Amino acid sequence: MNVAACQHAGISQGGLVQHFPSKDRLLNALIARSTEEYWSPQPLGFGFNPSLNLAIHFTLIERASAANR
């Protein structure tokens, strides 16, 4: 797994592999979490903002994809 991603998340590579034994599982968890965040209200009282949520969703996926290159 990517050392920089582990350092950014503040976890060890062993801890990451324990929870996500493959890149597929890690990416699936990322997509599931970002999908949950997409459908949840945004902080600071903005409520549901599909455009903002979609931008956040794709930014997270893009970062994960770039980290695996």
Write down the pLDDT at residue 5.
73
CA-nearest of 5, 10, 48 to 56 is 48
CA 48 vs. chain centroid, Å, equals 19
The tens-digit pLDDT sequence of the chain (69 residues) is 567 777 877 888 888 888 888 888 888 888 888 777 767 665 655 566 666 667 777 787 888 778 776
> For residues 35-54, b (16+ Cβ closer than 10 Å) or e, as one string?
eeebeeeeeeeeeeeeeebe
